[in-house]
Amino acid sequence: MIQIAAFLVFLAMGVTNLLAVQAGLTAVLGVPVLIALVVAVPVFYFRFVGSAAGIVGAIVGWQMPVPMAVLLFCWPVLVYGFLRGGAEARSFLARRAA
């Protein structure tokens, strides 16, 4: 059940990222929506380039505030860092207690 939920969340994030890149290309370059979608697919494929283009697209194309756009595309990294930090802290405290 958790795997299905995670898949759906990341699918929604991927579609959102793709649409943000498309909106940014349309807003910045003024190309038609269909051409922007075709150009957005290869840009979206590269992990960090796609995320950066998604952030720019959300800011320019959707007029989203910068902190909200960054949070929209970077929250998995923040959650991972929080969980990883908690695991490291537990490991460190377990070694000290032993």
Average of per-residue pLDDT across 65-85 = 90
Contacts 24+ apart (CB under 8 A), 12-17: 13/73, 13/76, 14/44, 16/54, 16/72, 17/44, 17/50, 17/51, 17/54, 17/73
Average of per-residue pLDDT across 70-77 = 88
The predicted-structure confidence for 5-42, as pLDDT tens digits, reads as follows: 889 988 998 899 999 999 999 999 999 999 999 999 99
pTM of the model: 0.78
